[in-house]
Chain A
Amino acid sequence: MTPPLLDIQRLSVDFATRRGTVRAIDSISLSVAKGETLGIVGESGSGKSVTSYAVMNILDRAGKIAGGKISYGGMSMHKISERDMRDIRGREISMIFQNPRAALNPIRKVGQQIADVLVQHNQATRSTARDKAIEMLLAVKIKDAEKRFEAYPFELSGGMCQRVVIAMALACKPQLLIADEPTTGLDVTTQKAVMDLISELTARFNMSTILITHDLGLAAAYCDRLVVMEKGHVVEQNTSQALFNAPQKAYTKQLLNATPHRDSYVRDLLTPEQQAQALALPASTEPGAALLSVKSLKKEFGKPGSGNHHIAVRDLSFDIRKGESLGLVGESGCGKSTTSSMIMRLLDTTEGSIEFLGQDIAAIPAKQFARHALRGKLQMVFQDPTDSLNPRWSAERSIADPLLRLSPDMTDADRQARILELATLVGLPVELLNRFPHQLSGGQKARVGIARAVAMEPELLILDEPTAALDVSVQAVVLNLLEDLKHRLGMSYLFISHDLNVVRLLCDRIIVMQQGEIVEEGHAHEIMDAPKTDYTRSLLAAIPHPPAPDASASETTALVQDGAS
């Protein structure tokens, strides 16, 4: 058996913080063979990114390797000088980061940035760099590579930027590629394109890859072997097939469970203990009369004929009935956020009507709606729980805000009682109420946001990708909480997301939007099982497909033997 390309033995990393030393990763061992794709999966704080930083020797000043060794192709990486390390980075090992736009220099042409990498590592001279860079742009399937060479990062879409970053990372034909959450923040379709590209290129150049992700489904679909990490420890490692079909450890099972599948119900995501506590859901609810009806809604930005004229939403009509959950699905830029802002009355409409509880609220200017009687009945849960809480306010103050503004007659004692009641309702421990947002975890912040949104007992709640920034296990709990609240408080939901698997869990009906128009509308199971349009089909196909659980056991063992020989 040939020695592995990268071999990490009993590696520990410590971070010096205000409260003493914290061990971020604790004696982990893993290895990557030549040409292999390894997935490191874990939730935030599991130490998966720190592992990759330790390999690249780019830990920040507070972090240091406390023990163990990292060897790469026989070299001891933790002993190497910074000077040699600089040579290895990019030429031998390269990395793709989470936010492609931040990884590119905003004031330099993208082609030039690829050329810089080539020249830096003596792979090209000034005169040949341009041609080689264009070659790389072609390799990452950027059309019009000659023209795109001259583009600045802001002129490219997120997916395009990530392709450029991949081109930079692969420009010097490294042996090992570390991809740290390369598709977070990208649409499902773009995610698929980027991941397909990475796996195609690494196969072509016979490179090894480490894919770091929180998405078990994504990792399983693209990796040969998976390492599951929790709180700085390796919980389990196995081939993707084996891990998916027969997880050994409870944590892996829980993680697998919490990842939404095509056929899972919202309660299935929870652990058995959590399920036992959950509310029994009524078998099926019959939606009542129309609560919200949107008719030929239209939004234009800029003046017609001017350079920045843009129609975000064109002729949109749909209804939400009482007690119903409607999913609104589409890629970024399809107009779903604009639509939600207009319904929320944060944005004025260009044309069309929005009838809510029998009143046309589109006629009321967004600026005056704050004082309107219906303000409290129409609320929203935002995408980013951190961004949506005032950093100077404690959780209690944030939840109290709508009560203070919208029911000013409430006495202090009543308000206090209501805040405690809301905290209990959303499962936020009462002792956390006087904490500031930065002292709360993502899931707790999400609960504060939800408590604030339901404080005025709204009739319609818009959920704008409420779990996009959360870990899968937290997502599972939050989705269940939302499902509970809907039944307890009799609310209707408009759930906005690009992830059909998540939307399907909560929604009865789904609308698929593309370029400001509805392309398909129907019951959740119809859309999932029998999509009528190509666009919906492409959205469905883009969802990562982990190995099927019914794959035969013999196949699994064969794979294991393959890897071992």
Chain B
Amino acid sequence: MSNLAITPSTSQRAQSREGYWHHLRYIMAENPLTGVSFGLFFGLIAVAIFGPYLVPFDPVATGVGPALQPPGVNHWFGTDHLGRDVFSRVVVATRLDLLISVSAVALSFVFGSIIGCFAGYFGGWTDRISGRLMDTIMAFPLFVLAMGIVAAAGNSIENIVYATAIINLPFYARMARAEVSIRRNAGFVQAARLSGNSELRVLFGHIFPNTLPPMMVQISLNMGWAILNAAGLSFIGLGVQPPMPEWGILVAEGANFIISGEWWLVVFPGLALMLAVFTFNLIGDGLRDLVDPQRRT
């Protein structure tokens, strides 16, 4: 009997893993835009991981070529005023920018969801206190608040991450609260209580996973926004410091040379920034379809 019982389970599990890949392929094929966005996303990830090993020049070495060369065969994106290779700098910057935005979004997703889940599930004072706290954050112009946090806490990459996470917190908290509160008395939640689940397990084991599809859209939109925010902070001189390559700094440095006609210093990092934000904005729907079991047939 025990033999008989195990067989369906293992075969089932293998089937579901295969089903997941099948599902991913289906999602990408169904909507070409989703396919494109996943392609771009994996491209960005690959550049972030392998970029530093593949670039032709050391991104911080000066004088690898003549200063202020326009794009050409040796220097695809041209060189800057210190003779550094712009292509290498733009590629290497990907890792830092993604790292900042991913960790910031991950932090605000985790803490925002926890706050929102408690507020939505328990209501009452938990809800009131967390709600007003989030309102307070929202009351500030968010970029100015991030500037203030970085300026006060110190000029470091970690502080950029924390600042970006804090200003994004209310979006996750509010969304989680709304999604949890509409489900807190659903039939399956009652059934979970009858099955002997504790309140916390009902909340995080049953209700929270059901809020993931809309949260995924929020995450991806937020990623693009977080990249812009980090680049923006570096642009005004907070956070990442030169000569470390970062898209915001590259644009800021290049801006000095626009008047004199050296356009490539601004355009290429700007395009990289745009492409990243574009990818994250596109990928939202695809991610939602991926985590929503109802899309699986």
Contact = CB atoms under 8 A, between A and B. Distances in A.
Contact of B195 (A391, A402, A433, A434): A402
Nearest to B15: A434
A380 B195 CA distance: 10
Contacts of B2: 413-414, 417
Contacts of A414: 2
A439 interface: yes
Nearest to B296: A436
Contact of A416 (B8, B190, B198, B293): B8
B6 interface: yes
A390 B195 contact: no
A416 B10 CA distance: 11
Q: Which of A380, A387, A392 has the most CB of B within 10 A?
A: A392
Contacts of B294: 391, 436, 438
B193 interface: yes
Contacts of B206: 390
Q: Is the interface of B mostly helix, strand, loop or mixed?
A: helix
B48 interface: no
A447 to B, nearest CB: 14
A370 B191 CA distance: 11
B187 A344 contact: no
B293 to A, nearest CB: 5
B191 A382 contact: yes
A405 B193 contact: no
Contact of A375 (B1, B194, B199, B209): B194
A413 B192 contact: no
A440 interface: no
Contacts of A436: 293-294, 296
A402 B297 CA distance: 26
Interface string A312-347: 000000000000000000000000000000001010
A405 B197 contact: yes
Interface in A362-394: 367, 370-371, 375-376, 378-380, 382-384, 387-392
A296 B51 CA distance: 75
A143 interface: no
B210 A391 contact: yes
Contact of B198 (A346, A371, A388, A401): A371
Given A390-B188, A391-B294, A438-B294, A416 B5 contact: yes
B186 interface: yes
B12 interface: yes
B9 interface: yes
Contact of A417 (B5, B16, B188, B293): B5
Contacts of B190: 346, 380, 382, 388
Contacts of A390: 188, 192, 206, 210
Given A413-B6, A430-B8, A436-B294, A389 B195 contact: no
B141 interface: no
A452 B191 contact: yes
Interface string A412-438: 111011001000000000100110101
Nearest to A367: B199
A217 interface: no
Interface string B44-62: 0000000000000000000
A384 B191 contact: no
A417 B293 CA distance: 26
A452 B2 CA distance: 21
Interface of A: 18, 344, 346, 367, 370-371, 375-376, 378-380, 382-384, 387-392, 396, 401-402, 405-406, 412-414, 416-417, 420, 430, 433-434, 436, 438-439, 449, 452-453
Q: Which 7 A-B pairs have the closest CB atoms?
A: A388-B187, A387-B187, A405-B196, A402-B195, A416-B5, A417-B5, A406-B196
Given A346-B190, A392-B209, 11 more contacts: A370-B193, A387-B188, A389-B188, A391-B294, A392-B293, A405-B197, A405-B201, A420-B4, A434-B15, A436-B293, A436-B294
9 contacts: A370-B198, A382-B190, A383-B187, A392-B210, A401-B191, A414-B2, A416-B9, A434-B12, A436-B293
Interface of B: 1-2, 4-6, 8-9, 12, 15-16, 186-188, 190-199, 201, 206, 209-210, 293-294, 296-297
